Amino acid sequence: MVRIIKDESHEVGRGCKAYQRIIEIPPTDGYPEGVKYRLVLLDADGRKLVCLDNHGGHGHHLHIRERMERYVFRGIRQLREDFWRIAQEELR
């Protein structure tokens, strides 16, 4: 069964927007935790500043502007906390 945990957007100042989509799904080889997510911060021109996601065979990873690195998933609560912490750092 699929369950939407979060699907929301926020304006966060200076024209930036944050989007969060977290979906609970049955565990699979590609999504062993049973969670699909994408949390993204876009600047006023729609450019990606921060993105935490686990799409299509890439596993858990973090984008900060043009850089991509591995992300250690520790649960949904920690995911959201990490996203907002990193987003705030990028907005400074």
17-46 tens-digit pLDDT: 999 999 999 999 999 999 999 999 999 999
Mean pLDDT rounded to a whole number for the chain? 95
- Domain locations along the chain: 3-91
| Residue 92 banded pLDDT, cuts 50, 70, 90 | confident
Give the residue among 62, 21, 16, 56 at the shortest CA–CA distance from 38. 21
What's the pLDDT score for residue 43?
A: 97
Q: Is pLDDT of 57 > 80?
A: no
pTM of the model: 0.92
